[in-house]
Amino acid sequence: MERVRSLPLTDPGTPPLTGPVAYLAWQARRQWGILTVGALLGVLMFSCQAALPYVTGHAIDSGLAHGFGADLWRSAAMLLGLGVVSATAGAVGHRYDVENWLRASFAASQLVGRRVSHSGHTITAELPTGEVVSAVANDALRIGEIYHTSARFIGSIVAYGIAAFVMLRTSVSLGLIVLLGLPTVAVCIAALVKPLQRRQAAQREASGRLTTLGSDTVSGLRILRGIGGEGVFTARYREQSQLVRRKGEDVAVTQSWLDALQVLLPGAFVVVLIWYGAHLAVAGEITPGQLVQAYGFAAFLSWPVQQMTYTVQSATRAHVGASKVLNVLRVVPATGARPGTRPMPPAHVPLVDEVSGTVVTPGRVSALVCVDPDASAAVATRMARFDDAAEADTPVRLGGELLAELDKLAVRERVVLAEATPQLFSGTLASELDVHGTRDAERLLHAITLADAHDVLDSVPDGLDGELPEKGRSLSGGQRQRVALARALLLDPEILLLVEPTSAVDAHTEARIAARLAEARRGRATLVVTASPLVLDHVDEVQLLVDGRVVATGTHAGLLARTDAHGAAYRRVVGRDLDEMTPPHGVARVGDDDPIAEEAFDELLQDEPAGARDRTGGRP
């Protein structure tokens, strides 16, 4: 049996981004070999199937004319032979169809995967997450579909040709009835599909709302069970569920008419055919076997006709799918779209944000404090270069060189930004901590100690080898933050920028982390954006940012003790004298996942992708 070439390919190639048709043609060229084999097998299978009614009719005639004898045996053997060849060609052809489908759709998924992995945040800025995920979950599969159906499409055309030839030779009028009647029936039925689709869409919409209601109710279940209101919600769900049911019944009405017409139209067609054929047979113009042939062809040909309409639909879907995939592939990263133009400065040089005057000095742990935590976070972010166009007016220099003119990956290697809303990824705890896979277990445990994250080891079964679920969802907000901190510390970069690294942890833990953090970063350059006194007390130097400028620099104790306006400003940020109830520091949106949006989204992905589960192999 043919072995399917292993996927994904090492190189998915570079597709043209000009348009969907160019993209689809490019993909076809990349797999023209298997497309050709698939098409040949399709032709073979359909030809065998087309020959079956012919041979059957012949067998009946020979049985009538010569009784049980060599002629009948020959026909039977031919029938069996055709069946075996058709079954084999069908099975091998199905393998090629699936390979064609997988090759094309996996290539698209792979290209999207690569783009997403290297685009940075531009992808999120330019496209909604749902659309990007849907490019892989749906659109890539739809692209594959057209390569999957192509073989059967070609086979169908050939089969139709064969049937036409045989029928027209038998009787021109009978042949014309079969060949023109069937497409007419197909067109009539297709015309009736529109109203059905409208009602189906109405039901889908109602059903989507029902799913939202269901997941809304369940997402808020803790609240419902805590304070009541379950009755109201189940009643509401029931009401919508009954609405969906009624819409479903509307669909059933239209659908059942369509089903009935699918009986009536081909049935009427066959009745006319038999009536006309029987008269020809009575008149002796055709044999009884040929009458059976005509009936057999009429039954058989509805299959290729279906295949052809199906192919037209898949072509439309592939076109739409390709344009959606192209939307993702066209995203250009906001940073480092062009290669660096200046050489990297030597190691251990300061990183300076010119507009604010913030300086990250080699060998020091600094803190950046601002009354507006967003403003200080923004400074730290641009010091790590995240948007070349937007940061053009706020130059940042590493050892005198403009950051924007350096090679991006080289910058990322030396300057690492750990943001306030860090993202964890699914995978083993060890591999998620050590993202470049270069540290040993001892270093991992050391980093975990630094981030005071030993409780994470206990809460993940199997410790370091334990699996974190998607986005580290099983961990609490505070645990996620500490894992992210350990991950950043493990990178051990020359310059580390930490934004609110301890905003979601309790005071006990924060105090311990702060003490260890300063120790761990000794000798390297570090900037911590924070307003927590527990952290500030352990840094070498604090820079106070007011209205976008660093106005004062000193130790935590020194700034607290200052009697001028800057001292007062500093105390206002870090002290308790402004408002007793204010948590002493910054933005922490660690746990702000919107469960509804997320689940509705997950649900979207669960929609069966078209063509993904074609188990019948396109059989009638």
Partner 1 sequence: MKLPIADSATVRAYTAYLLRAHLRPLSAIAVLHTCAAVLGLAGPWLLGRLVDAVADGTTTGYVNALVAVGAGAVLGQTVLTRFAQRSSMRFGEMVFADLREEFIETVTSLPLSTVERAGTGDLVARTTNDVNKLQNAVRFGVPRVIVAVVTITLTVVACLVLSPLVAVAMFVGVPVMLVIVRWYLRRATPAYLRESASYATLNGTITESVEGARTIDALRMGARRQARVEADLREAFEAETATLNLRTVLFPGVDFAFITAPVAVLLWGGWLVSQGHVTIGVVATIVLYTYQVSGPVWDLIFWLDEIQVAATSLARIVGVRLVEPDREVREGTPVDEDLRARGLRYAYREGHDVLHGVDLDLRAGERLAVVGPSGAGKSTLGRMLAGIHPPTGGTVTVGGVPLVDLPLDELRGHVALVTQEHHVFVGTVADNLRLAAPGASQEELRRALEAVDAWGWVCALPEALETEIGSGGAPLTPAQAQQVALARLVLLDPHTLVLDEATSLLDPRAARHLERSLNGVLEGRTVVAIAHRLHTAHDADRVAVVDGGRITEIGPHDELVAAGGDYAALWRSWQHESA
Residues 66-105 that bind partner 1 (CB under 8 A): 67-68, 72-73, 75-76, 79-80, 82-84, 86-88, 90-91, 94-95, 98, 102
Q: Taking Cα atoms as reference points, which of 451, 530, 453 lies closest to residue 489?
A: 451
d(CA 176, CA 183) in angstroms, rounded, equals 11
- Kindly tell me the burial class for residue 570, based on how many C-beta atoms sit within 10 Å of its own C-beta (0-12, 13-18, 19 or more): buried
- Burial of 324 per CB tally in 10 Å (0-12, 13-18, 19+): buried
Residues touching partner 1, count (CB under 8 A): 194
- 137 is a contact residue toward partner 1 (CB under 8 A): yes
The 433-462 site mask, x for binding partner 1 (CB under 8 A), equals --xx------------------x--x----
Of 22 and 131, the one with the shorter C-beta distance to partner 1 is 131
In the list 256, 316, 341, 438, the residue contacting partner 1 (rule: CB under 8 A) is 256
Q: Does 597 contact partner 1 by CB under 8 A?
A: yes
What ranges in 346-422 are assigned the alpha helix state H? 373-383, 408-414
Minimum gap (Å) between residue 25 Cβ and partner 1: 23
Sequence length of the chain is 620
| Shortest reach from residue 402's CB to partner 1, in Å | 19
Which of the residues 503 through 522 are near partner 1 (CB under 8 A)?
A: 504-509, 511
**22 or 476, CB closer to partner 1?**
476
By beta-carbon proximity to partner 1, the closer residue of 83 and 395 is 83
The structure tokens listed for 22 are 């160019």
Q: Tell me whether residue 88 or residue 553 sits nearer to partner 1 (CB atom).
A: 88
Of the candidate residues 34, 50, 132, 318, the single one contacting partner 1 (CB under 8 A): 132
Our finding on whether 56 is near partner 1 (CB under 8 A) is yes
**Is 554 an interacting residue with respect to partner 1 (CB under 8 A)?**
no
Binding to partner 1 by CB under 8 A, coded x per residue (else -) over 190-209, reads --------------------
Instruction: Please give the Cα distance from 502 to 508 (Å, whole number).
Output: 11
Closest by Cα among 303, 368, 392, 311 to 539: 368
The Cα 360–Cα 352 span in angstroms is: 6
Distance in Å, CB of 21 to partner 1, minimum: 25
Q: In the set 70, 180, 191, 263, which binds partner 1 (CB under 8 A)?
A: 263
Strand 358-360 relative to strand 351-353, pairing? antiparallel
Cβ proximity to partner 1: between 25 and 268 the closer is 268
Residue 498 · residue 488 · CB < 8 Å? yes
Q: Provide the minimum distance between the beta carbon of 208 and partner 1 in the complex, in angstroms, as a whole number.
A: 10
Angstrom distance (rounded) from CA 433 to CA 480: 11
Token pair recorded at residue 540: 């070498």
DSSP letter string over 161-209? HHHHHHHHHH-HHHHHHHHHHHHHHHHHHHHHHHHHHHHHHHHHHHHHH
Nearer to partner 1, 113 or 161 (CB): 113
Which H, E and C letters describe 236-265, residue by residue? HHHHHHHHHHHHHHHHHHHHHHHHHHHHHH
Instruction: By CB under 8 A, name the one of 225, 522, 549, 572 that touches partner 1.
Output: 225
* Closer CB to partner 1, 158 or 505, in the complex: 505
- The region of 273-281, 311-319, 344-352, 440-448 touching partner 1 under the rule CB under 8 A is 273-281
332 vs 115: CA distance, rounded Å: 9
Query: One symbol per residue from 568 to 587: x for binding partner 1 (CB under 8 A), - otherwise; what is it?
Result: ------xxx--xxxxxxxxx
Query: Judged by CB under 8 A, which of 197, 316, 341, 426 binds partner 1?
Result: 426
- Which is nearer to partner 1, 122 or 356 (by Cβ)? 122
Per rule CB under 8 A, is residue 291 in the interface with partner 1?
yes
Beta carbons within 8 Å of 2's beta carbon, 6+ residues apart: 92, 95, 96
